Structure 1
């Protein structure tokens, strides 16, 4: 069967889609472009409003492809968890719905539906333990990059847990991905080791709140810090990253690890959400400005060059001008190298839906614009300080924009900064993805860097 996967949302969804594609290819299915496919899988996200709306638009489009016998659509992810069998009623060509815990059953279900054209299946029950997935061949990892998936040669995502127990008042994740479930640490370590043996050089550990790994009923006594040290010791692993990290659960041992583990990248995404204590309290974040700044100070003491990024919600119900100014002040104090900022939007079933007063869209947009403009300025200043420094980048792919002459490639340095570099004697067909390259930074742009290679690496 020829199939296509469309992915919305976070890195966890990207990883889920990548695993599903490899699982289906191991069964003889072929990942193709949308126009060639017979079966479609839409992996959905409902954390914010727009991705959810896009799902319905995509399904309307895919219905035009499902006219021949045997063609159908499967819907997975967070929106699938919410809507459930409602997809069957609205879109007759949808024949499989699976939530976050149900993805482990999706490969077998897709095969069943390809055989029985009248069957429909739904897997939306939350499980008490992490549902281990079938192992798929990861060697050579770089040869398994399917159409439409953001897998990058030499890099891999590894899920270490699923779900969340925090129930922040604005967040739908506990309702769409369930309560927290940690994977068995030995399974995580084995997966990481196999990936490194297949040629992966950088691994990103994924979870809704990686800092609370092992703190649920499925924990084995191995903390997240323990896991980091064990994975760091895998021979041949050049870089480790992790996301997402809830400030309330970050342990001193994790902060210390940034100064002790040579392959733990000096980069951390630490969602602040707001700089106002009153807003943080209404959000249910369980930390305040003082605690957040203590964490930042600890990280900078352990790793002075660490690059911090964050999430910020603007216009949370009841946010006053003073609350917003507190957030702007935190932007200046921490000086995040980048931030992902959004206007608050109600999500179904969360506590904040009932919070009053709502901030008008006009005011929220003005605040968001001001915040993003200031963040862009801070980002540019941070990147300009990199000019003249040597660093090492992990090459990913040819740059989107090419100049005259040499082929330009893009990669990321240990801080997660995008660096574009011209490479003489290289053609579009040369596969450099996954290789490490020393570069001298020569120029800063708004959100990326330019450099030139140092020496003759090949």
Structure 2
């Protein structure tokens, strides 16, 4: 689980703005959704704060992918209820620096899947809203004073959501997420996404380009296109026909100011010839690709309903690197899937050795209620799955360190994003998504400049400005 705070919003000129706290769990799409919730609420006078205790409105934007996701939400809600009760008591007695009563909302995939249960188990919750309905938060806020228990988002209508969102984005820095596709039709047996995000749906090309232009106007230089299966993108194009992710990338690269394009998360079955070719032809398309495989065993892949085998995946990697030789690969892996044997796991380790990942995420299987895998026989003992996870994570860490160390002595273009911890240090991104730390570079935030890499570490690179960059500064 990752937790992300929405960056503070600019002052809207109000003397005493209401305060909003959003705690984000899970993936980049939830981060994007949290940013857009802040955008929706800003016209109502809400400015973001970094503590729940200081907030008038608290939103937990939840994720249902990881184990015990709902229980973690309930634990957090218990803490928030104490804050809310204390706020109400202070309001009655007039003691302390009290604010108005606290409003609590649960958003995201746990809200979609367990909304009624949330309202039943935690009376402190005022609003429960699914991932396709958060654009209606202003309307819900006007009603919550009259009656608690609002729940929306049981249906899936992403077109309504995106049509209702304000065009202006609250961005903080030269990089931004941009959702272009939502939902999933793949129905992997371990996954709840089709049930919480709905069927695959793509935003029209014109809408994506309009948002990208707005971002570029605010200083964004790099956009990461988001989707549950982003390379299945088939949004309506200017001619009324379906577009593709490759065509969308070419169109985005024509926008002045947009110099870098990434996308995540992809499915191997949607990696088209045109998209592979674009990686070799389009300079703006960065040489980093997150392409989950989940297992290296054909037998386990069939049990997962992945609809591809290890041979297809490995051939796909060869074709991608044939188009872009410096491509850095990233992936996802599940170990301990029901029925996985020692031989199956060794086939996963073999696939990892063959591919050579620059970064990857490995997880121990945990059942999701309502998914086919949850009722499968052959559940792997936890101690066995844990040992496999540790072995796989060690191999992936070894590969990541080797990839980073290989950049030592090279000159790479770095997009500087933010100040570092030390003096005038700045932190940026390499084309391969590595974090790059450079001293005396905080005046270059928002610019892409050449950096000489001195050495690579497990999770980052250390570099210095080239003479060319110094002369240009």
Q: State which of 81, 101, 105 in structure 2 corresponds to 1:63.
A: 81
Corresponding residue for 1:149?
A: none
Between the aligned partners of 2:140 and 2:447, the Cα distance in structure 1 is 38
Judge which range, 241-250 or 123-132, deviates more. Answer: 123-132
Q: State which of 32, 39, 42 in structure 2 corresponds to 1:25.
A: 42
Give the TM-score normalised by structure 2.
Answer: 0.88
Corresponding residue for 2:56?
A: 38
Contact preservation (8 Å) 2:438, 2:464: yes
Contact preservation (8 Å) 1:171, 1:347: yes
Judge which range, 32-41 or 318-327, deviates more. Answer: 32-41
Describe the SS at the equivalent of 1:340. strand
Q: From the superposition, tell whether residues 285 and 215 of structure 1 become closer, same or farther in structure 2 (CA, over 3 Å).
A: farther
Q: From the superposition, tell whether residues 52 and 140 of structure 1 become closer, same or farther in structure 2 (CA, over 3 Å).
A: closer
Between the aligned partners of 1:52 and 1:119, the Cα distance in structure 2 is 21
Corresponding residue for 1:410?
A: 427
What is the correspondence of 1:384-403 to structure 2 with a 5 Å cutoff? 384-400=405-421, 402=422
Describe the SS at the equivalent of 1:94. coil
Contact preservation (8 Å) 1:8, 1:51: no
Q: Give the CA deviation at 1:139.
A: 6.7
Q: State which of 85, 88, 104 in structure 1 corresponds to 2:116.
A: 85
Corresponding residue for 1:126?
A: 155
Corresponding residue for 1:240?
A: 261
Corresponding residue for 1:52?
A: 70
Contact preservation (8 Å) 1:337, 1:379: yes
**Structure 1: any 5+ residue segments left out of the alignment?**
143-152
Q: State which of 427, 440, 446 in structure 1 corresponds to 2:452.
A: 440
Between the aligned partners of 1:392 and 1:288, the Cα distance in structure 2 is 36
What is the correspondence of 1:245-260 to structure 2 with a 5 Å cutoff? 245-260=266-281
Corresponding residue for 2:13?
A: none
Is 1:99 matched up with 2:130?
yes
Corresponding residue for 2:402?
A: 381
Corresponding residue for 1:204?
A: 224
Deviation string 1:218-251 (CA, Å, 9 cap, x unpaired) is x941122221221122122110000000001111
Q: State which of 155, 179, 183 in structure 1 corresponds to 2:175.
A: 155
Q: Give the CA deviation at 1:408.
A: 2.4
Q: Give the CA deviation at 1:92.
A: 1.2
Corresponding residue for 1:323?
A: 344
Corresponding residue for 2:4?
A: none
Give the TM-score normalised by structure 1.
Answer: 0.91
Describe the SS at the equivalent of 2:439. strand
Q: Could you say which structure has the greater relative contact order, defined with CA pairs below 8 angstroms and 6 or more residues apart?
A: 1
Q: Give the CA deviation at 1:110.
A: 2.6
Q: From the superposition, tell whether residues 26 and 263 of structure 1 become closer, same or farther in structure 2 (CA, over 3 Å).
A: same
Q: Give the CA deviation at 1:450.
A: 0.5
Q: Give the CA deviation at 1:167.
A: 0.4
Q: Give the CA deviation at 1:398.
A: 2.8
Between the aligned partners of 1:175 and 1:227, the Cα distance in structure 2 is 27
Deviation string 1:309-350 (CA, Å, 9 cap, x unpaired) is 000001000000110010000111100111100000000100
Corresponding residue for 1:146?
A: none
Corresponding residue for 1:271?
A: 292
Contact preservation (8 Å) 2:299, 2:344: yes
Deviation string 1:340-385 (CA, Å, 9 cap, x unpaired) is 0000000010000111101111011111111111111111111111
What is the correspondence of 1:291-440 to structure 2 with a 5 Å cutoff? 291-400=312-421, 402=422, 406-423=423-440, 432-440=444-452
Contact preservation (8 Å) 1:26, 1:136: no
Corresponding residue for 1:16?
A: 33
Q: Give the CA deviation at 1:134.
A: 3.1
Between the aligned partners of 1:159 and 1:343, the Cα distance in structure 2 is 28
Between the aligned partners of 2:104 and 2:211, the Cα distance in structure 1 is 30
Between the aligned partners of 1:39 and 1:203, the Cα distance in structure 2 is 29
Deviation string 1:262-294 (CA, Å, 9 cap, x unpaired) is 111110000010000000111001110111011
Corresponding residue for 2:95?
A: none
Deviation string 1:12-62 (CA, Å, 9 cap, x unpaired) is 000000011122112211212322112111100011114433211111111
Between the aligned partners of 2:101 and 2:230, the Cα distance in structure 1 is 40
Deviation string 1:173-206 (CA, Å, 9 cap, x unpaired) is 0011111111112111111111112211000100
Q: Give the CA deviation at 1:168.
A: 0.3
